[in-house]
Copies of this chain bind each other. A is one copy, B any other.
Amino acid sequence: MPSRANSPNSKSDASLKSGCGGCVLRELGLCSILIGAGLESPLDRPPLPQFEKTVAARLPLFRAEERFSNVPILCEGWAAIVAHLPNGRRQILSFLLPGDFISASLLFEETLHHAAETITPVCYRSFARAELRELLFAHPKILENVASACIREKQRLEDLAIDLGRRRADARLARLILSLRERMATRGRAPSRVFNFPLRQVHIADALGMTQVHVNRVIKRFHQNGLIDLQARSLRILNEKELQRLANK
Q: Residues of A with Cβ closer than 8 Å to B?
A: 83, 85-87, 89-91, 93, 105, 107-109, 113-114, 137, 140, 143-144, 147-148, 150-151, 153-155, 157-158, 160-162, 164-167, 208-209, 248-249
User: When the two chains form the complex, which single residue of B107, B137, B161, B249 contacts A157, counting CB atoms closer than 8 Å?
Assistant: B161
Contact in complex: B248, A161 (CB < 8 Å): no
Contact in complex: A162, B93 (CB < 8 Å): yes
Instruction: Given A91-B166, A108-B148, A209-B166, decide whether A249 and B86 contact each other with a Cβ distance below 8 A.
Output: yes
Contact in complex: B158, A113 (CB < 8 Å): yes
Question: Which chain B residues lie closer than 8 Å to A167 at the CB level?
Answer: 85
Contact in complex: A166, B85 (CB < 8 Å): yes
- For the complex with contacts A86-B248, A109-B151, A150-B154, 15 further pairs of A-B residues with Cβ separation under 8 Å are A83-B162, A85-B167, A93-B161, A105-B151, A107-B147, A108-B148, A113-B158, A137-B140, A137-B143, A150-B150, A154-B157, A157-B160, A161-B161, A161-B164, A166-B209
Question: Which chain B residues lie closer than 8 Å to A161 at the CB level?
Answer: 91, 93, 157, 160-161, 164
User: When the two chains form the complex, which single residue of B107, B154, B164 contacts A154, counting CB atoms closer than 8 Å?
Assistant: B154
User: When the two chains form the complex, which single residue of B89, B108, B158 contacts A166, counting CB atoms closer than 8 Å?
Assistant: B89
In angstroms, Cα B109 to Cα A173, docked, is: 29
In angstroms, Cα B87 to Cα A166, docked, is: 10
A203 to chain B, nearest CB (A): 13
User: When the two chains form the complex, which single residue of B85, B151, B165, B208 contacts A91, counting CB atoms closer than 8 Å?
Assistant: B165
A197 to chain B, nearest CB (A): 21
In angstroms, Cα B105 to Cα A155, docked, is: 10
In angstroms, Cα B181 to Cα A109, docked, is: 25
In angstroms, Cα B158 to Cα A105, docked, is: 13
